[in-house]
Structure 1
Amino acid sequence: MRIELEYNARSIPPADVARSFVPPTPHFGRLLSRNHTLLLGPRGSGKTTLLKMLTARALNSWTHPEAAALTPQVTFNAAFVAADIAWGKQIEAVGSFDFNASRKDAAFVLHTLRAIVHAMREATELAREGRLTPHAKHLAIEITESQEEKLVALVAPNLSVRPALPSLLGLELALEARLDTINSGEDVAPFTVESFPSKISLLISAFNGVTGDSDRRWALLFDELEIAPTRVKTFLLSGIRSFDERIIVKLALAPYMDDAGFERNPISPHPLHDYHTIQLSYPNKDDARNFGEELFARTFERIGVDAPSLDLLFQPPEGGSQLGRRGNQKRQGVPEEFVSLAQKDTSFAQYVTERNLLSPDYRFNENNIAQDIRKVLPIVVARNYYLRRFDGTHAVANRSRKSHGLYAGYPSIVEITEGNPRAILTCVGPMAQDYRQDIERADGFVQVSRSIQTKAIRRVELLLTSLLQVVPLDLGGFDAGKGLLGFVDTIGRAFEDRLLSRPFTTDYVSTFLIDENVSDAVVKAVGMALNAGAIIHVPYPDGGPDTLLRGLRGQRFRLSYALAARYRLLLTLGDRISLSTLLLVMRGVDVGDDQRALF
């Protein structure tokens, strides 16, 4: 029997989300704080899941070993505000609707009011049901029927609704009915964005007062904020410091937006002072290691496969070469890949000769090993795997680009998923199903075969490339039929060219800077690839995690490791090059010429 996994948390109830939730460290712990928070991440990075896990239903259903320690840190009740087409960008393309700006504002306000009333009802229902876990009981709220009637009588006039039932359920249904009629010509003046903070404050004051807990805090969890109208985004981003002190705002959005962001002035919100930022991508692969490994193991378990030790579970690449992993082991002698590559790559043979690596007089001390062997071992492994012969200044014969076997084995198979939950499920789900069949046929322990891993690596790649292909690219010089994938391919092939098609060098280049010589259209293309997860931001040590909301120029980026096999690249952070130079070289332009704005 095949067990199907759900890959998108949008349609999954919070209680069901909680049952398989693995907390990403340290992101989830930071999200629990009472700080306003920006949650930035590409598609599939788990933004929706993380926000839903702050709700009372989810936390009460969470059974992870860390649940008892983390849940008490949530000292607020949370209202999950799902993205809604009624106030999203999509509606702008539907000319048949009379959906002007004021109606979009009203849709946003009503949508949020309904969500917080739902959270209030959820908290009271938890108290009535009595099925509370000890770590989540502080999120349940007791209210009598008479108190509930009093609450509705207090707030309904201000919310411009007439509930049919004098209860929280009746109030929620009245707001939903008002939302449904928003485009029928009814007056929407009571629901302006400017009135939104006061309406929320009144609702909270009334509820807290009636239930006898005036200091209770409430969090508004806005999901997929990038699809909201510009006016709403700007309001939430610029007004994050002006909400009632009982209100916490947590905004989940894509890392790049070209229509809203933070201004740089003394009165604008500032990181650490007014809000915290959590970036759900990992510039360094080691940062995602623990979370990725636990989610790998948990996903295997959900399929019915015990995976206690990932390093033993996966069959390594043929010959055992794993992109230089053995360089961390203390072993004397020159790795066999050095000898093999020197025999077919004249440029590397020159390197070996210059350093006397094959001489019996070579001194294998720590300094020499680090500089001459360990530093270049991943480059050597990749060239030895992909090159059949390199003569003089160019490759004479290469292995097929469809050969993904080099990326099999632990930890590479984990690293190509980038700590992205959707990528991990895409990789592990079908792989675990196939592996379980191998177990049933085998007599004793068997590893996950290279062939099964290769299919998984291709699925992870396809997860990205299929998305990139349908993102339109309005940029000359690229194949329009490939969409944004054509742009990303150009960058990837440029890095591949430097690694495999040129003479051997000890410097591996795999990151780029957005310099002033590229046009705004190129910057936007990078931003769209960033939102898709195909490009990863590599922040500077002194830069803030929300830097991208203030612009992409001058920032450093790399390609996702999920695309490493497609471009035959290493799973390591390399040196940098300007994006204009990278693109110009791929077009055969002499970079010594005066550079004009690219595209």
Structure 2
Amino acid sequence: MSRQTFLEPFNAKAMSYAEVARTFVPSTKFILLAGAWHSVLVGPRGGGKTTLFKMLSAEGQEAWTKPASEPYKKTMAYTGIYVPSDIAWGTMLESLMEAGQDENVGILFSEAAFVTHVLLGVAAGIDRHVTLNPVQRAEAATEAATGAPTQADLERVIATIATLWKVHPVSLSPASLVDALRERLLEIKRDARLRAKLKEGGMPTEKYLGMDMLESASQALQAFDAAYRRPDHRWCLLLDEFEVAPMHLQKTVLAAMRASGAQKLLLKVALAPCGPDLLYEQLSSAPPSQINDVQQVELWYADKAEAIEFCQQVFLSRANSYPALAGKTPSEVFGTSAYAVVDDSDEAEQIGLFTQAGRNKKHVKEQFQSLAEKDPTFLEFLRRKQIDLSQELGMQPSDTHGNTLRKIAPLVAFRNAYKGKGVGRKRGVKPFNTAYSGWESIAAISEGNPRWLIGLITRIMSNSDQVQFPVPTPQQTAAVQWNCQRYAEMLQSVANEQFGSIKTSTPIYDVLSKIGTYFHNRLVTTTFVEDPPMSFIVDERVSDDVEHALRIAVNHGAIVCFEAAADVGGFRTLRGRRFRLTYLLAPVFKLPMRKSKSVSLSAILEPKPEAAASQEEPPTNPAGEWTQGGLWAN
């Protein structure tokens, strides 16, 4: 199978609107985001932010021609304008300040570049609308006409907009307006560069400085919609990857979301979960509220079933283009896994997985007996629970000890695979690959992140001669291990600074490795317990340096929060919040994919020497209804 069938292209930033629309799968996240309200979209790299924003744009909606798209389009009572990010917004400010310019001068030029980018998007939107809805001939302009303006009307509107924006198009047409703004953008960058190099002093006087983005765009669109006799029409700015924008721009845009009442221009902003906007102290103005001002959409899933359903739709959207997979379900292609995420609320599903995956009673019993022979603490657990291995081991709720046996069976399998003979000893490092094959495991490992899922499936299906279904377990696990190792290598090379404001001297992967190693040892070498901790809480004893390393990890999807972000835009602090390692790292650190109780992060990073190997129960958070937030998601 060609790698391109699933994987190429999969980065929406480099894809055309038609390419994005061809395989687009609407999710509940899209529904929440698409409404006619201000929105903040929060998610890690690869989580699908750019895909969603492109599909909300006018170009994306036009390219989305599938019949199933109609109900979604009806909810969008606005014209979307996609505005990609530009690192020049930040570098312009930095270069001017490094040259000794006043910070306010740098902010003015940075804002001017940003405003011009936005107005360029607005002008392109106007140009597109005029192309699709041509002006009338002057002699046809009657009361019975379609409502389109005449050429003279359009020219008057363009002249008005040019005056508002202080540009000089060569002709009074939307296309010329676009060209004038492109020239303006080059002019801003040139003026800022010259000012920095020549070290000019004093306040600049260029006319494009100090323009307000919302007012400039809103007034222009009001004039344009009036000409088309649709004064109540709304537009929406889709500001992608806005975490790269300087802090002052983020403050300006987020503050604009607090405006109340009917508005010509809606704002939808995509942000990383831990961006610079969440590190500054709010001054006199309060941030927007999730209750009153914005709809915050987070690209991780509190409901595992919802994430798996989305993964299945992503699979089907691409699989149908490959003859061997057409009409097949993911479970038919990859089989099932009894070692997917254990969720006590999905009891029936877990029972079914054991049955479908062929984890028969004999196999389970062999695992239990093997571990009991080499692990005295497990044997003691069985005695305490009065579980007799000479008897039949049933996994049904009606069976004696059925719930307990079903819950610990994956733990027994993991522990037996890695446990050596003798207290605190481990056997070789050969991975327990069975745990990472089967559709449920593949979907769990992907975290509902479309880029990760496509990468996993692509690697598994890279053999063009694949005809055997389910795909053999060794082929699945080899591909999963390869992808997970590449992800781990990426994390090892991640910079220790992001956005100029999140800085740490602690290597990000070092922290993740300590966490993963701790959980693996708790699972394998210490006293057997029914529910070993597999999650952690960032407690007050954790240093700011480590917390900043974790903030970078969150932005890359390496750790997953169990809770929704209380602050607009993501997490202002990680302290007091519960996390787990992404399941994409589970094969790397040899961990099961399951829910569990938590332990304080300081207990992981600074363990007491005397309690290292024999500790049965580290400080944990027994509370703990599991409300995993799943990603994280482009």
Deviates more, 1:106-115 or 1:465-474: 465-474
Structure 1 SS opposite 2:317: helix
**1:426/1:459 contact within 8 Å kept:** no
Map of 1:344 onto structure 2: 374
Deviates more, 1:65-74 or 1:556-565: 65-74
Deviates more, 1:570-579 or 1:218-227: 570-579
Amino acid of the residue matched to residue 125 of structure 1?
T
Residue 321 of structure 1 deviates from its aligned partner by 6.2
* Alpha carbons of structure 1 residues 307 and 534: separation in structure 2 relative to 1, 3 Å: farther
Residue 228 of structure 1 deviates from its aligned partner by 0.4
Map of 2:118 onto structure 1: 112
Residue 540 of structure 2 is aligned to residue 516 of structure 1 = yes
Q: Distance in 1 between matches of 2:408 and 2:283?
A: 43
1:124-143 correspondence runs (5 A): 124-127=130-133
Residue 146 of structure 1 deviates from its aligned partner by 3.0
Residue 554 of structure 1 deviates from its aligned partner by 1.1
Amino acid of the residue matched to residue 347 of structure 1?
T
Amino acid of the residue matched to residue 145 of structure 1?
Q
Q: Distance in 2 between matches of 1:17 and 1:487?
A: 36
Deviates more, 1:272-281 or 1:65-74: 65-74
Residue 173 of structure 1 deviates from its aligned partner by 1.1
**2:320/2:326 contact within 8 Å kept:** yes
Q: Distance in 1 between matches of 2:149 and 2:549?
A: 52
Deviates more, 1:67-76 or 1:494-503: 494-503
**1:536/1:560 contact within 8 Å kept:** yes
CA displacement 1:181-210 (0-9 Å, x = unmatched): 113338675445662221112111111111
Identity %: 27
* Alpha carbons of structure 1 residues 286 and 381: separation in structure 2 relative to 1, 3 Å: farther
Aligned match for 2:465, one of 415, 437, 440:
437
Deviates more, 1:85-94 or 1:164-173: 85-94
Q: Distance in 1 between matches of 2:593 and 2:300?
A: 15
Residue 575 of structure 2 is aligned to residue 553 of structure 1 = yes
Residue 362 of structure 1 deviates from its aligned partner by 8.7
Structure 1 SS opposite 2:465: helix
Residue 65 of structure 1 deviates from its aligned partner by 4.8
Q: Distance in 2 between matches of 1:242 and 1:123?
A: 27
Amino acid of the residue matched to residue 169 of structure 1?
A
Residue 15 of structure 2 is aligned to residue 15 of structure 1 = no
Map of 2:141 onto structure 1: none
Map of 1:248 onto structure 2: 266
Aligned match for 2:212, one of 178, 195, 203:
195
* Alpha carbons of structure 1 residues 398 and 126: separation in structure 2 relative to 1, 3 Å: farther
Map of 2:173 onto structure 1: 167
Residue 120 of structure 1 deviates from its aligned partner by 2.1
Aligned match for 1:460, one of 477, 483, 486:
483
* Alpha carbons of structure 1 residues 333 and 6: separation in structure 2 relative to 1, 3 Å: closer
Map of 2:629 onto structure 1: none
Residue 280 of structure 1 deviates from its aligned partner by 0.3
* Alpha carbons of structure 1 residues 520 and 259: separation in structure 2 relative to 1, 3 Å: farther
What is the TM-score when the length of structure 1 is the normalising length? 0.85
Aligned match for 1:294, one of 313, 326, 335:
313
Aligned match for 2:433, one of 395, 404, 408:
404
Structure 1 SS opposite 2:606: helix
Amino acid of the residue matched to residue 560 of structure 1?
T
Q: Distance in 1 between matches of 2:609 and 2:170?
A: 68
**1:163/1:171 contact within 8 Å kept:** yes
* Alpha carbons of structure 1 residues 383 and 363: separation in structure 2 relative to 1, 3 Å: closer
Residue 99 of structure 2 is aligned to residue 75 of structure 1 = no
Aligned match for 1:92, one of 90, 94, 114:
94
Structure 1 SS opposite 2:178: helix
**2:53/2:238 contact within 8 Å kept:** yes
Structure 2 SS opposite 1:509: coil
* Alpha carbons of structure 1 residues 53 and 512: separation in structure 2 relative to 1, 3 Å: same
Residue 124 of structure 1 deviates from its aligned partner by 3.0
CA displacement 1:25-67 (0-9 Å, x = unmatched): x111111111111100000000000000011221122144530
Structure 2 SS opposite 1:549: coil
Map of 1:426 onto structure 2: 455
Q: Distance in 1 between matches of 2:19 and 2:393?
A: 59
* Alpha carbons of structure 1 residues 586 and 156: separation in structure 2 relative to 1, 3 Å: farther
Amino acid of the residue matched to residue 217 of structure 1?
R
Amino acid of the residue matched to residue 578 of structure 1?
S
What is the TM-score when the length of structure 2 is the normalising length? 0.81
1:461-500 correspondence runs (5 A): 461-473=484-496, 483-500=507-524
* Alpha carbons of structure 1 residues 97 and 60: separation in structure 2 relative to 1, 3 Å: farther
Structure 1 SS opposite 2:287: coil
Residue 265 of structure 1 deviates from its aligned partner by 8.6
Map of 1:313 onto structure 2: 333
Q: Distance in 1 between matches of 2:256 and 2:275?
A: 17
**2:426/2:524 contact within 8 Å kept:** no
Residue 499 of structure 1 deviates from its aligned partner by 1.1
Q: Distance in 2 between matches of 1:289 and 1:323?
A: 11
**1:47/1:223 contact within 8 Å kept:** yes
Instruction: Show structure 1 runs of 5+ residues with no match.
Output: 130-139, 440-444, 475-479, 594-599
Aligned match for 1:391, one of 422, 429, 452:
422
Residue 83 of structure 1 deviates from its aligned partner by 0.5
Q: Distance in 2 between matches of 1:544 and 1:481?
A: 27
CA displacement 1:403-453 (0-9 Å, x = unmatched): 53421112101210111111012112233332x4122xxxxx532122331
Residue 247 of structure 1 deviates from its aligned partner by 1.3
Residue 552 of structure 1 deviates from its aligned partner by 1.7
**1:37/1:250 contact within 8 Å kept:** yes
Instruction: Show structure 2 runs of 5+ residues with no match.
Output: 136-145, 193-203, 343-348, 498-503, 619-634
Residue 211 of structure 1 deviates from its aligned partner by 1.1
Amino acid of the residue matched to residue 333 of structure 2?
L
**2:507/2:549 contact within 8 Å kept:** no
Residue 524 of structure 1 deviates from its aligned partner by 0.8
* Alpha carbons of structure 1 residues 467 and 121: separation in structure 2 relative to 1, 3 Å: farther
* Alpha carbons of structure 1 residues 81 and 323: separation in structure 2 relative to 1, 3 Å: closer
Residue 225 of structure 2 is aligned to residue 208 of structure 1 = yes
Q: Distance in 2 between matches of 1:555 and 1:322?
A: 24
**2:147/2:229 contact within 8 Å kept:** no
Amino acid of the residue matched to residue 378 of structure 1?
P
**2:460/2:480 contact within 8 Å kept:** no
Map of 1:477 onto structure 2: none
Q: Distance in 2 between matches of 1:14 and 1:523?
A: 38
Residue 401 of structure 2 is aligned to residue 369 of structure 1 = yes
Residue 593 of structure 2 is aligned to residue 571 of structure 1 = yes
Structure 2 SS opposite 1:351: helix
Structure 1 SS opposite 2:152: helix
Structure 2 SS opposite 1:219: strand
Q: Distance in 2 between matches of 1:482 and 1:278?
A: 30
Amino acid of the residue matched to residue 83 of structure 1?
S
Amino acid of the residue matched to residue 584 of structure 2?
A
Structure 1 SS opposite 2:188: coil
- For the aligned residue pairs, the C-alpha RMSD in angstroms reads 3.4
Residue 500 of structure 1 deviates from its aligned partner by 1.5
Q: Distance in 2 between matches of 1:316 and 1:147?
A: 64
1:22-61 correspondence runs (5 A): 22-24=25-27, 26-61=28-63
Map of 1:133 onto structure 2: none
